[in-house]
Amino acid sequence: MNTIPTIQLGKNGPLVSKLGLGCMRMSSIWGGPVKNERESVATIRAALDRGINFVNTGDFYGSGHNELLVGKAIKGRRNDAFISVKFGAIFYGGHLLGLDLRPIAIKNFINYSLMRLGTDTIDLYQPCRLDNSVPTEDVIGTVVDLIKEGKVRHLGVSEITAAQLRHVNTLYPVTALEIGYSLADRQIESDLLPAAKELGVGVVAFANTAEGLLTGEMKAPLPANSYHSHFTRFQGENLVKNLEKVEELKKMANEKGCTPTQLAIAWVNTQGNHIMPLVSMSRRSRLPENIRAMEIEFTTEERNTLNTHFSPGAILGGTYLQR
């Protein structure tokens, strides 16, 4: 059985698995179908069995559905899991209405999260974004109060700028930054990643395959009902040229005897000991492949090839991850 290495999350943070389990796609967020709940719960438990203890969810994933799934999965084995929860996004009818980061709302959110998860404490609690609608001091101060009350163990942040990260860290030590990062989305390398490393903040990197672009399975044109079509990266000539870029990844994967998805995860994994790939899974069958990705290493030549071919800006267009 593969052994998952552990990393210290943040300068003085806890030890967690170097590979994280993202549970978002187990629930309906944008109005899509809900995955098989029994299989989703079994996937979380199987991940825990394999040593993947970092479990990521959000109170707005499926209007609480996702937290209920996680709660079922960790029942009776709470100590096996490190639970990361995002809060603040308001959805209605499958559409994002905005953020609610008022202290009174945060205190309401966490009570519902604790109930759905079936626990007294959330390990990592983080606003999904900071939009200046509420003073940062009030948002972070509320989470700090929850830490003092014992309802939260560590402060996290998500999808923020380097300046915001530095400011938040002056208010209270940040344990982890959750951010999109892949061969196709490297804009954070110029300032945000260096800031996190300097401050001793762990990086939880999601969207390693850039919304499926780097899986090698996407073809142009996309189906008419594909949610990807809303984003410029997957439209018209952008998609055609981007898929041409992915051919290099497919070629290298074939030479190394792995899949493009594994290669994309491996690249993120090898960017630093403080960086954790957060991989979405909803089926147990995906676990062996993603775990094996953590064992893939690159020669200097292979690394240079990927970094040159997928240099920042090489992928045309953006997604909601684009800052």
DSSP tag of 232: G
Does residue 314 fall inside a structural domain?
no
Does residue 306 fall inside a structural domain?
no
Mean pLDDT on 302-323: 85
Does residue 131 fall inside a structural domain?
yes
Q: CATH number of the domain that 166 lies in?
A: 3.20.20.100
Q: What is the enclosing helix (H) or strand (E) of 302?
A: helix 300-309
User: DSSP letter string over 173-211?
Assistant: ---EEEEE-BTTB-GGGTTHHHHHHHHT-EEEEE-TTTT
Domain that holds residue 86: 6-212+272-296
Q: Could you read off the pLDDT of 41-62 as tens digits, one per residue?
A: 999 999 999 999 999 999 999 9
DSSP tag of 21: E
What residues does 58 pair with on adjacent strands? 86
* pLDDT band at residue 318 under the 50/70/90 scheme: confident
**Tokens 């898929």 -> residue:** 243
Does residue 148 fall inside a structural domain?
yes
Does residue 128 fall inside a structural domain?
yes
Does residue 235 fall inside a structural domain?
no
Specify whether 61 is catalytic. yes
Yes or no: say if 266 and 260 are a contact pair by the CB < 8 Å rule: no
Yes or no: say if 315 and 233 are a contact pair by the CB < 8 Å rule: yes
DSSP tag of 157: E
Look at the chain and report how many structural domains it folds into: 1
The length of the chain, given as a count of residues: 323
d(CA 274, CA 113) in angstroms, rounded, equals 27
Q: Could you read off the pLDDT of 2-18 as tens digits, one per residue?
A: 578 999 998 888 999 99
d(CA 160, CA 299) in angstroms, rounded, equals 32
Tell whether the model's pLDDT for residue 319 goes beyond 80.
no
Does residue 319 fall inside a structural domain?
no
Q: Could you read off the pLDDT of 121-151 as tens digits, one per residue?
A: 999 999 999 999 999 999 999 999 999 999 9
| pLDDT value at residue 220 | 87
| pLDDT value at residue 31 | 60
Q: Could you read off the pLDDT of 209-259 as tens digits, one per residue?
A: 999 999 999 998 888 878 788 789 999 999 999 999 999 999 999 999 999
* pLDDT band at residue 156 under the 50/70/90 scheme: very high
Yes or no: say if 123 and 202 are a contact pair by the CB < 8 Å rule: no
Q: Alpha helices, DSSP H only, in 75-185? A: 103-117, 136-149, 162-171
What residues does 280 pair with on adjacent strands? 22
Q: What is the enclosing helix (H) or strand (E) of 150?
A: none
Does residue 239 fall inside a structural domain?
no
d(CA 33, CA 45) in angstroms, rounded, equals 22
Q: What does R_g of the chain's alpha carbons equal in angstroms?
A: 19
